[in-house]
A = this chain, B = another copy of it.
Amino acid sequence: MVTQSEENYLKAIYHLGKQGSISVSTNAIAEKMTTKASSVTDMLKKLAEKELVDYKKYQGVSLTKEGKIIAANVVRKHRLWEVFLVEKLNFSWNEVHDIAEQLEHIKSQKLINELDAFLGLPTHDPHGDPIPDREGNLQKSQKIFLSQVNPSVNCSCVGVKDSSDNFLKYLDKNSIAIGTAIQVLTKEAFDESMTIKINNSELTISKEIASNMYVKIN
Binding site for B on A (CB under 8 A): 85, 88-91, 95, 98-99, 102-103, 106-108, 110-111, 114-115, 118
A2 CB → nearest B CB, Å: 14
Q: How far is the CA of A114 from the CA of B91 in the complex (A)?
A: 9
Of the A-B pairs whose beta carbons lie under 8 Å apart in the complex, a sample of 19, sorted by A's number, is A85-B111, A88-B118, A89-B111, A89-B114, A89-B115, A89-B118, A90-B114, A91-B110, A91-B114, A95-B110, A98-B108, A99-B106, A99-B108, A99-B111, A102-B106, A102-B107, A102-B108, A103-B103, A103-B106
A50 CB → nearest B CB, Å: 22
* Chain copies in the assembled complex: 2
Which residue of B is nearest A90, CB measured?
B114
Q: How far is the CA of A110 from the CA of B94 in the complex (A)?
A: 14
Residues of chain B lying within 8 A (CB to CB) of residue A115: 89
Which residue of B is nearest A105, CB measured?
B102
Residues of chain B lying within 8 A (CB to CB) of residue A88: 118
Ranked 3 nearest A-B pairs via Cβ: A89-B114, A99-B108, A102-B106
A102 CB → nearest B CB, Å: 5
Residues of chain B lying within 8 A (CB to CB) of residue A107: 102
Residues of chain B lying within 8 A (CB to CB) of residue A102: 106-108
Q: How far is the CA of A98 from the CA of B107 in the complex (A)?
A: 9
Please indicate which of the listed interface residues A98, A102, A115 has the most CB atoms of chain B within 10 Å of its own CB.
A102
Residues of chain B lying within 8 A (CB to CB) of residue A98: 108
Q: How far is the CA of A118 from the CA of B102 in the complex (A)?
A: 20
A74 CB → nearest B CB, Å: 14
Q: How far is the CA of A91 from the CA of B109 in the complex (A)?
A: 12
Residues of chain B lying within 8 A (CB to CB) of residue A95: 110
Residues of chain B lying within 8 A (CB to CB) of residue A111: 85, 89, 99
